[in-house]
């Protein structure tokens, strides 16, 4: 597996840039927070490859009828993809499904609180957050390219996972009080 990493801080503010590096500590792209009106406040991020191509991901604003199921919008070079929380599963753990480039994608939280990305049922990446060092690692299968849409989605999905965890903790506190 190929390994990539970025330093995550407690607060990702607008204008802050997080470089994504490979095993040789070479920058392969960077992450930024975005502010897009179509998305929930604080839920949109972009990943820019070294060649200048940018992928933006955010959570679409929710209403009463879709309050419990988030919709994730991905925009890249005039193409838009939509992923959604898997109804039922997302109440228990982070689980997002959809289709990108004609391939089914599933993003699940595992028992180790890591995020696994599967394309057409094949595991391609694991996101491993480290709350102590704030270094997030992405392990990518050898046959997947770091310049692919799937890699950018893997990087950005970490931030969607963080938002999910904050919301889940908030709901858990409401229920337990």
pLDDT tens-digit profile of 84-128? 988 765 557 789 999 999 999 999 999 998 999 999 999 999 999
64 — pLDDT class (breaks 50, 70, 90): low
Cα–Cα separations (whole angstroms), residue 122 to 104, 118, 143, 159: 10, 5, 11, 22
Beta bridge partners of 53: none
Is residue 171 pLDDT above 70, yes or no?
Answer: no
4 — pLDDT class (breaks 50, 70, 90): very high
- State the total domains in the chain: 1
116-120 long-range contacts, CB within 8 A, separation 24+: 117/150, 117/153, 117/154, 117/157, 119/150
CATH code, domain carrying 148 = 2.40.160
Domain span at residue 10? 2-176
């Amino acid at each position: 597996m190929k390994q990539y990493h970025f330093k995550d801080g407690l607060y990702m503010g607008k204008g802050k840039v997080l470089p994504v590096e490979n095993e040789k500590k070479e920058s392969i792209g960077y992450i930024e927070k975005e502010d897009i009106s179509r998305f929930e406040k604080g839920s949109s991020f972009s990943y820019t490859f070294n060649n200048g191509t940018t992928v933006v991901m955010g959570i679409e604003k929710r209403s009463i009828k879709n309050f419990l199921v988030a919709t994730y919008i991905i925009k890249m070079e005039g193409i838009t993809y939509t992923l959604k929380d898997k109804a039922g599963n997302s109440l228990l753990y982070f689980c997002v499904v959809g289709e990108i480039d004609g391939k089914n994608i599933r993003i699940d939280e595992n028992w180790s609180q890591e995020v696994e990305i599967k394309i057409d049922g094949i595991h391609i990446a694991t996101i491993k957050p480290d709350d102590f060092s704030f270094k997030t690692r992405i392990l990518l299968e050898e046959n997947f390219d770091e310049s692919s849409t799937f890699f950018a989605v893997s990087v950005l999905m970490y931030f969607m996972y963080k938002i999910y965890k904050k919301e889940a903790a908030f709901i858990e506190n409401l229920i337990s009080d």
